[in-house]
Amino acid sequence: MSRVPLPIALPVIGFERPLVECTECARCCTYVGVGINPPTSARHATDVLWYLYHEGVYVYVDGEGEWSVHFGARCRHLGPDLRCGIYAERPHICRTFDNRACEVNDPIRGSLTFREPDEFLEWLRERQPRIYAKIGKGFVPRALRRVPAATPRTARAARRRAVARKARI
């Protein structure tokens, strides 16, 4: 019986994957992110909706609960080889990025990404029902409103209102 050499692999116990190098990804150089208020009020919730109405924009919530809006915008100094053309003179914010703790190599548990308004509205309906109710009729387009399932009680009430409207006409 001949031996088959096994490739030198990642440790089996406590499986760790190899780090993705910046020159393989460069995701942090393809958007601009700005901190925003979490949707703890109707005003802030409608701000999040407004961001999501725009193409190339998404809202990100990190695992620590920090909310930010991200605008897709490739850095003009990012080369086709995914290397920085001004690396030695790069801004301070670029110097703080570390591929050991970036969202690709060290994804934060509990983070959320909203790319569409309906994704955010569904989250809001489940997590912040009072705020969802406040903005539901006056600030959410009909196409995005979730129609509540009719119950026998609400169906009877709707029929009574319809009869009352006809009686007034």
Q: Over its length of 169 residues, how does the chain's per-residue pLDDT go in tens digits?
A: 555 554 554 455 555 678 888 888 898 899 999 999 999 999 999 999 999 999 999 999 988 889 999 999 999 999 999 999 999 999 999 998 888 777 777 677 778 999 999 999 999 999 999 999 998 888 887 777 765 555 566 667 777 777 776 676 6
CA distance 102 to 56: 21
CA distance 48 to 5: 54
H or E stretch at 109: none
Q: Which of 27, 32, 24 is nearest to 81 (CA)?
A: 24
Residue type, position 9, single letter: A
In terms of Cβ atoms closer than 10 Å to its own Cβ (0-12, 13-18, 19+), residue 144 is middle
3-state secondary structure of 32: strand
CA distance 9 to 71: 38
Instruction: Write down the pTM of the prediction.
Output: 0.69
E strands along the chain, which residues?
Answer: 31-36, 57-61, 67-72, 112-114
CA distance 8 to 137: 60
